[in-house]
Structure 1
């Protein structure tokens, strides 16, 4: 019996590949034949996942984080194609919780990364934009790429912070002048966020608090994004209500309108690029997973994207996770047959214990799944907890 292991990363503990390899060890010890395929949905781990299956060359590129501090980002190169992920430089996981501040966070580091791969003669860019700490509508990135960002008088605006434009500059922006040179570059953006730019379902109201914004700051930012998008719509007919405009604090809006990018589903795009359908067809059991599963897991995340494709091929799909809430039952309609979770939400250990003993818990949860598979037990409860 062949088992295909394609888990997403377990945030803060395992990359997709390292989680898969640990799970594989447990299955191999029980006599299963296994293959690990790293996956991602446009956020952290996207570059590694695509490079692993396409044999693209991984390189380190210097950039900066959201506060202008030097950082090395991993990029994959394959001929004239470059694969990048925003999270590698302007990602929320690059910061301590106490550092989160969307007013000071700049997307300039992503613009720097794009400039550097273009300098290597890459003309086809695939960019995952999940997991950012920014809410600047891409101002920092656009400034780094040479776009003229203007005040109400039409003069070029000087950024408030010396490391690039941020959301603190939004109130002074009246125009962002398009550049025709961007037509020479083809960009595909990987994102599963469908939110518009503004409003109650927009970038700031839905994701602002995760990035450290208070309700007062959320109200201000949404107001300024609405004002700027109205100005740009009047001047250039740029829209802000298309699905994904609100992805990554408005990066989706910037990429589509200013860089003529195509926004595609993160997990569907990655699955196609790595040829996952053929791998699924040649397997018997499929293992998906991520750090936690809840009702939101049913909407576009990697485990569900994979399980839907696997179920269409008639495969059995099990999910392994660190924490599962009871409302994670919503994923059962998306192709997952059962969830094996280390913890219920109320029993979840603190972050230090999770980091220190993550391997132990993931191994034990996988052993629990193998025991169920070997015993042919019918699943009365389709969420099975280790603790």
Structure 2
């Protein structure tokens, strides 16, 4: 028997790898000779580096880069097992948690550290990049990242505009003459699960900047800056990038990645699953187990477990989904490739007790064991 185990992390409790290992142990208590393949899972946000690095036997790297307010931070990124693909979560270099609430100001925060991570990976031979957007403290439309890579953004007098979202309104021209030549041989795939344009009522400033510290006046100024940036970018590139679905992701970083680095924006879950090569593993499997901390209506709208279920359904495989809790809306997953879903808790308990890592591992292990005892009994009865 071969079982593919691909669960997302149980946020605040255990990682995807730890949860997968617990499930595998439960299965082996019933089928000691079973082949259990644990594929760490993520949706492009937090945990993506860990999932892709551990799932490909890669390595983690730490680099000192420019943080969102210009102060150095130690950012972790990954290099996958092929030695050529770097995995970067932008939040590691410019994430909101790196800025204390009283200092949050998207007119000042920069994505320069993201560009510095790209440079570090390039110097180590990487030419393929997987980048997870989300959780940024920035609204600079990626100019900080591009500045680190050699782009210059200048005003009407030919002076550099500086950094942060407040610099966007001063951009008159973009100079790419100093960019790193290696960029032409690099490919970028970006996990992006929002479709917001760069500016306007649904754009980066109005939708995301308030949570990053912007008041109403600042939001309006940032939006005007994004419009000016879009005009300068169109003049430089020869085409519009502002209306691309996802351009407004991570404070406009999506627009910079697509426009200047020719990136492909993809569903986070699908990107991670493709990078791990999960479909090839499904070819000779008998069961698939997926899940996350809570299965609910959001899961059925495109989160990582749904991606697993859709792939497995192409191969006609039964899919079991496990979760700490299961919302009533989760039943929609049964028509989307999930054969059955189960909560792992054995009885009433406090949230703190339920989220204890040891308890979560034990509940995953125990639930998997009981499910496969049922599978074993059913197989014996039908033989």
TM-score tier, shorter chain, comes to: 0.7 to 0.9
1:367 equivalent in structure 2: 366
Q: Report the RMSD for the aligned CA atoms in angstroms.
A: 3.3
**Displacement after TM superposition at 1:274 (Å):** 2.0
In the alignment, the residues of structure 2 paired with residue 26 and residue 100 of structure 1 have an alpha-carbon distance, to the nearest angstrom, of 45
Per the alignment, residue 170 of structure 2 pairs with: 172
Gaps of 5+ in 1: 159-164, 377-387
Tell me how far 1:79 sits from its aligned partner. Answer: 4.3
The number of equivalent residue pairs is 364
- 1:117 is aligned to 121
**1:25 to partner: Cα distance:** 2.8
Deviation at 1:71, TM superposition (A): 0.9
1:290 to partner: Cα distance: 2.6
Q: Secondary structure at the match of 1:321?
A: strand
Query: Which secondary structure state, in structure 2, belongs to the residue aligned with residue 6 of structure 1?
Result: strand
Is 1:192 the counterpart of 2:192? The answer is yes
Alignment-derived partner of residue 222 in structure 1: 223
Taking a change above 3 Å as real, the CA distance of residues 204 and 328 of structure 1, as seen in their structure-2 partners, is: farther
Shift of 1:286: 1.4
Shift of 1:212: 5.1
**Could you tell me how far 1:313 is from its partner in structure 2?**
0.9
State the Cα deviation string for residues 330-362 of structure 1 (Å, max 9, x = none).
43333223333468xxx983xxx3796143135
TM-score normalised by L of structure 2: 0.80
Q: 1:143 aligns with which of 138, 141, 147?
A: 147
Distance in 1 (alpha carbons) for counterparts of 2:221 and 2:139: 12
Question: What secondary structure, in the 3-state scheme, does the structure 1 residue paired with 2:7 have?
Answer: coil
Unaligned stretches of 5+ residues in structure 2 = 376-383
Tell me the distance in 1 between the aligned counterparts of 2:97 and 2:344. 23
SS of the aligned residue for 1:290 comes to strand
The whole-number CA distance in structure 1 between the counterparts of 2:97 and 2:52 is 20
Query: Which runs of structure 2 are paired with 1:9-158 in the superposition (5 Å)?
Result: 9-31=9-31, 33=34, 34-67=36-69, 68-76=71-79, 78-92=82-96, 101-158=105-162
- Give the superposition deviation at 1:37: 1.1
Deviations 1:39-97 (A, max 9, x none): 22332333333333434344333324323332141321634443333233333465667
Deviations 1:290-315 (A, max 9, x none): 33343332333221111100111111
Equivalent residues of 2:27, 2:372 under 8 A apart = no
Q: CA deviation at 1:219?
A: 4.6
Q: Secondary structure at the match of 2:136?
A: coil
Q: Secondary structure at the match of 2:13?
A: coil
Q: How many angstroms does 1:213 deviate by? A: 4.8
- Partners of 1:9 and 1:44 within 8 A in 2: no
Which residue is 2:379 aligned to? none
Larger Rg: 2
Give TM-score, length-normalised by structure 1.
Answer: 0.80
Q: Is the 8 A contact 1:8 1:39 kept in 2?
A: yes
